[in-house]
Amino acid sequence: MVKPLKIVVTGASGFIAKNLRKYLSEKNLELVSISRNDFKNYKCETKIISKNYEEKNLLKKIQNSDVLIHLVGIGKQSVNTDYDMINTELTKYIVNLSKKARIKKIIFLSGLGVSSSTSLGYFISKYNAEKQIINSGLDYTIFRPSYIVGKDDLFSRNLKKQIKSGEIIIPGSGNYSIQPIHVSDVVKVIFESVLELKFNNKIIDLVGPDYVTFEKYVKLFSKGTKTKIRKIKLEEAYHNAIINSKSDFGIDDLNILIGNFKGNYKKLSKISKIEFKSVLKLLQSGRLL
């Protein structure tokens, strides 16, 4: 009898990880899931709550796993937690832990727009994390996702919160475009990259088939509600982000949103065997969330 794959998932309580863990557990794979926060257990899953991912708590439990899927990351900084600490240094630590545990491969979610020429703090931290993985000597797949949407994702939660208040704010013109991908497709691609050698040692944009303006996306998202859509000057949006930590958009949220980043959907479509959902069609039919 073939031994089931053993997969480690970090950041287990997050939106993507919850969807991924559910999908993997339905495939009867052996899971070791780690998070700083408590989370619901699935079958065939070893649950580890670890505030600092301490080696002594983890090493034996993750030993000789087939792959580690690293999903810990932050998109907003604070005085206690900065990008470098979580996105880069923790990744470096996880890479070293994987080597000690004789794990063969790492799968990592970076960000669409990450490149060697970036000047954005968030992207720099992700780029440096990518470097740690590429130089590790381990097999890897690095995905650079656009907005990952589905039930309870952060992007949709923000828009729903604004709909509840009766008004959605569009920073600037709203003519910049995004390339959202549905979380159900994301988990399928990640699983494929666990199984298929053709994903090894590649950096792949994780994007959907639709490249749509933010204004159009917002109008479709709020269709059927009485929500007012109001454009504000970018200057005002950035000012709000700087002075108010509770503003709808942080500074890097704005930088990423207006960055007009376009991913290579053709490459993703070609390498995977998946027929990707059109997020636009899901929105139009009211079946996105």
> If DSSP codes are grouped into helix, strand and coil, which group holds residue 63?
coil
Q: Is 2 left (phi over 0), alpha (psi -120 to 50) or beta?
A: beta
Asked whether the CA dihedral 20, 22, 23, 29 is positive or negative, the reply is: positive
Residue 141 phi, psi (nearest 5): -130, 125
Give the separation between CA 1 and CA 277, rounded to whole angstroms.
35
Predicted confidence (pLDDT) at residue 60 exceeds the cutoff of 90: yes
Predicted pLDDT of residue 2: 59
pTM score: 0.95
Cα 255 to the center of its chain, rounded Å: 17
CB atoms within 10 A of CB 133: 24
Q: How confident is the model at residue 44 (pLDDT cuts 50, 70, 90)?
A: confident
- Per domain, the residue ranges of the chain are 6-145
Q: What is the mean pLDDT of residues 17-31?
A: 94
Q: What is the pLDDT of residues 169-221, one digit of tens each?
A: 999 999 999 999 999 999 999 999 999 999 999 999 999 999 999 999 999 99
Q: Tell the CATH superfamily of the 6-145 domain.
A: NAD(P)-binding Rossmann-like Domain (3.40.50.720)
Q: How confident is the model at residue 155 (pLDDT cuts 50, 70, 90)?
A: very high
What Å distances lie between residue 12 and 9, 68, 71, 111, 286, CA to CA? 6, 12, 8, 19, 28
Angle at 243 between CA 240 and CA 245, to 5 degrees: 85
Q: Of 114, 81, 94, 79, which is closest to residue 9 (Cα–Cα)? A: 94
* Percent of the chain residues past pLDDT 90, beyond the cut: 83
Q: How confident is the model at residue 82 (pLDDT cuts 50, 70, 90)?
A: confident
Predicted pLDDT of residue 258: 95
Give the separation between CA 244 and CA 213, rounded to whole angstroms.
26
The residues pairing with 140 across neighbouring beta strands, listed in sequence order, are 106
